[in-house]
């Protein structure tokens, strides 16, 4: 399998359950080792990159659960992302504090900094996890289903935040999603996987076709143009 991430990409990885999406993302995140081949970052093999150096370039937001069992505050959760930048003794300084506040303000959750992570809404908690990844100051952010467990409003909000980071700050975003329409609207590339292989990798309009959706997901769909804009949306038939 050959997969290349370009600078400032916004990539949605999609496919049925068990198709290999999370495995691919965890290999990119350096959490799993591939059985064969090499994974490179800036043309350097992962095995040659120290962990703290890697963490300053690539951040990972795991699939979130509904609760965090330890009663950390939102501020403490986000400060954990500064670990790769801390000194030998692991002590935070004013630079670290200012970076956390800056990111909390950017994601509009600075008013929640003293609240327990278990006391905020699902959407706010997800923003905190994204903030934790962002204070690493990465070039690439990887996210495993960032809109899982969220209502429609918060799903769109999270994707809008990621798009802002991508467009305004040049952050490369690679995520797993099950929402065809959000992937179609926000991504510049969509990757469709099946049986551990990448079947399609291109612009959304080229990948998310009725034939491809039928082939990969085994469902009927209708790709339709919006009346008021050039955007398309995808309607899945309730009948398989």
Strand partners, 59: 141
Collect the ranges in the chain with pLDDT lower than 70: 65-69, 226-231, 237-240
Q: What pLDDT does residue 224 have?
A: 84
Q: How far apart are CA 210 and CA 219, in angstroms?
A: 9
Q: What pLDDT does residue 230 have?
A: 61
Q: What pLDDT does residue 229 have?
A: 56
Q: How far apart are CA 82 and CA 90, in angstroms?
A: 10
Q: What pLDDT does residue 2 have?
A: 84
**pTM (two decimals):** 0.92
Q: Are 108 and 86 in contact (CB under 8 A)?
A: no
Q: CA–CA distance from 70 to each of 47, 103, 116, 135, 194 (Å)? A: 32, 22, 9, 21, 37
Q: What pLDDT does residue 171 have?
A: 97
Q: What pLDDT does residue 187 have?
A: 96
What CATH number has the domain spanning 10-204?
3.40.50.300
For the chain, the three-class secondary structure string (H helix, E strand, C coil) is CCCCCCCCCEEEEECCCCCCHHHHHHHHCCCCCCCCCCCEECCEEHHHCCHHHHHCCEEEECCCCCCCCCCCEHHHHHHHHHHHHCCCCCCCCHHHHHHHHHHHHHCCCHHHCCCEHHHCCHHHHHHHHHHHHHCCCCCEEEEECCCCCCCHHHHHHHHHHHHHHHHHHCCEEEEECCCHHHHHHHCCEEEEEECCEEEEEECHHHHCCHHHHHHHHCCCEEEEECCCCCCEEEEECCCC
Q: What pLDDT does residue 65 have?
A: 57
Minimal CA–CA distance to 162: which of 148, 151, 177, 174?
174
Listed by start position, the domains of the chain span: 10-204
């Amino acid at each position: 399998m050959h997969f290349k991430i370009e600078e400032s990409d916004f990539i949605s990885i999609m496919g049925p359950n068990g198709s290999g999406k999370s495995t691919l993302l965890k290999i990119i995140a350096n959490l799993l080792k591939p059985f064969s081949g090499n994974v490179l970052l800036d043309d350097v093999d992962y095995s040659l990159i120290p962990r703290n150096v890697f963490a300053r370039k690539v951040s990972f937001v795991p699939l979130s659960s509904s609760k965090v069992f330890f009663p950390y505050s939102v501020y403490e959760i986000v400060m954990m992302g500064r670990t790769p930048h801390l000194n030998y003794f692991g002590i935070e300084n004013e630079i670290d504090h200012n970076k956390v506040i800056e990111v909390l303000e950017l994601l509009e959750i600075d008013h929640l900094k003293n609240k327990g992570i278990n006391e905020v809404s699902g959407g706010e908690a997800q923003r905190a996890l994204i903030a934790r990844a962002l204070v690493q100051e990465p070039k690439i952010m990887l996210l495993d289903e960032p809109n899982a467990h969220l209502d429609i409003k918060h799903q769109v909000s999270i994707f809008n935040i990621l798009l802002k980071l991508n467009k305004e700050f040049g952050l490369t975003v690679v995520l797993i999603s099950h929402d065809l329409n959000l992937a179609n609207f926000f991504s510049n590339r969509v990757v469709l996987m099946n049986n551990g292989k990448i079947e399609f990798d291109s612009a959304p309009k080229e990948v998310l076709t009725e034939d491809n959706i039928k082939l990969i997901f085994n469902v009927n769909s209708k790709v339709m143009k919006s009346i008021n804009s050039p955007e398309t949306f995808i309607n899945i038939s309730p009948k398989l």
